[in-house]
């Protein structure tokens, strides 16, 4: 589904990603961990097409196509979803209106008819249940005045609405209390199928109690320096990153 080869990227001339290699197949869950500043969020942003970053080397294939050639919106319409670490507030625009536009844009891209108002409402109610989101929230402005937990639930609600092939969740667990973490993580698990894939970027092992990864990668100074199975996350939680970093030097 996703094949990242020797990916290098810079921001303001500073190299953040220094040769990432990563392959994600349908049905898989990957976790990306690593110390602060190792390039985890940059990787997510570059894959989503954030124009702040410049790709200087390497390639990314998504569903057999050159991902780096596509605009931000075309990547999204083809099924790449980024769960934002800091979801953006959009005053005056209701969630319901925003999602209706987004869902119908995606349908148009696939050559499907737009949803009727009734179909859309039904879909919204069903998907809101996945993250125990009060449907009243959908008549509020996007993320405006939402608590930390509501913002993250809202990201997963959007993921449920858009049903992506590949979801990249950038520190979806940050700023969540234990209940919100359970709801958000359980929501992600419910959305996982053999046809899609999830990449979770996280600092903490506790998220991976719910979202069990097939692979755990450690990112350090813009490279994946180690890959293991779910037991690696537990080891990192106990022992930190030093043992891996020392191995590098």
**Can residue 105 be called a binding residue for other proteins (CB under 8 A)?**
yes
**In this structure, are residues 16 and 43 in contact, taking their beta carbons and an 8 Å threshold?**
no
- Is residue 41 a contact partner of residue 143, using CB atoms and an 8 Å limit? no
Residue 90 within binding range of other proteins, rule CB under 8 A = yes
Verify binding: residue 48, other proteins, rule CB under 8 A. yes
Task: Build a one-symbol-per-residue string for 212-231: x at contacts with other proteins by CB under 8 A, - elsewhere.
Answer: --------------------
To other proteins, the closest distance from the beta carbon of 163 in angstroms equals 12
* 39 binding other proteins? (CB under 8 A): no
Residue ranges in 142-171 that form contacts with other proteins under rule CB under 8 A: 158, 162
Output the DSSP codes for 2-50: EEEEEEEEEETTEEEEEEEEEEE-TT-EEEEE--TTSSHHHHHHHHHT-
- Select from 29-37, 58-66, 96-104, 174-182 the region that touches other proteins (CB under 8 A): 96-104
Q: How many residues sit close enough to other proteins to count as binding (CB under 8 A)?
A: 31
- Assess 77 for contact with other proteins (CB under 8 A): yes
Told to check if 65 binds other proteins by CB under 8 A, we report no
**What distance in Å separates the CA atoms of residue 2 and residue 4, rounded to the nearest whole number?**
7
- Residue 52: helix, strand or coil by DSSP? coil
Run of H or E including 190: helix 178-191
> At closest approach, how far in Å is the CB of 68 from other proteins?
16
Q: Which stretch binds other proteins (CB under 8 A): 53-61, 77-85, 112-120, 173-181?
A: 77-85
DSSP string, 71-109: -HHHHHHTTEEEE-SSPPPEEEEEHHHHHHHHHHHHHHH
Distance of alpha carbon 128 from alpha carbon 12, whole angstroms: 39
State yes or no: residue 137 binds other proteins (CB under 8 A). Answer: no
Positions touching other proteins (CB under 8 A) are: 48-51, 71-73, 75-77, 81-82, 84, 87-93, 97-99, 101-102, 105-106, 109, 141, 158, 162
């Amino acid at each position: 589904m996703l094949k990242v080869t020797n990916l290098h990227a810079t921001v303001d001339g500073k190299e953040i990603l220094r040769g990432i290699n990563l392959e994600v197949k349908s049905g898989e869950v990957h976790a990306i961990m690593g110390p602060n500043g190792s390039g985890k969020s940059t990787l997510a942003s570059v894959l989503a097409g954030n124009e702040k970053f410049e790709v200087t080397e390497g390639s990314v294939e998504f569903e057999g196509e050159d991902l780096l050639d596509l605009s931000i919106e075309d990547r999204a319409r083809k099924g790449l979803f980024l769960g934002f670490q800091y979801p953006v507030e959009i005053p005056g625009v209701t969630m319901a209106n925003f999602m209706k536009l987004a869902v119908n844009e995606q349908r148009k891209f696939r050559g499907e008819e737009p949803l009727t108002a009734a179909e859309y409402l039904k879909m919204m109610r069903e998907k809101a249940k996945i993250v125990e989101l009060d449907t009243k929230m959908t008549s509020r402005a996007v993320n405006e005045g939402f608590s930390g937990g509501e913002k993250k639930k809202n990201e997963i609600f959007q993921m449920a609405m858009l049903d992506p092939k590949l979801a990249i969740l950038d520190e979806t667990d940050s700023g969540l209390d234990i209940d919100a973490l359970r709801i958000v993580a359980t929501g992600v698990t419910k959305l996982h199928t053999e046809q899609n894939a999830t990449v979770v970027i996280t600092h903490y092992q506790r998220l991976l109690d719910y979202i069990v990864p097939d692979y755990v990668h450690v990112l350090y100074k813009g490279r994946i320096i180690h890959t293991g199975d779910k037991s690696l996350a537990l080891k990192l939680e106990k022992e930190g990153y030093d043992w891996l970093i020392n191995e590098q030097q």
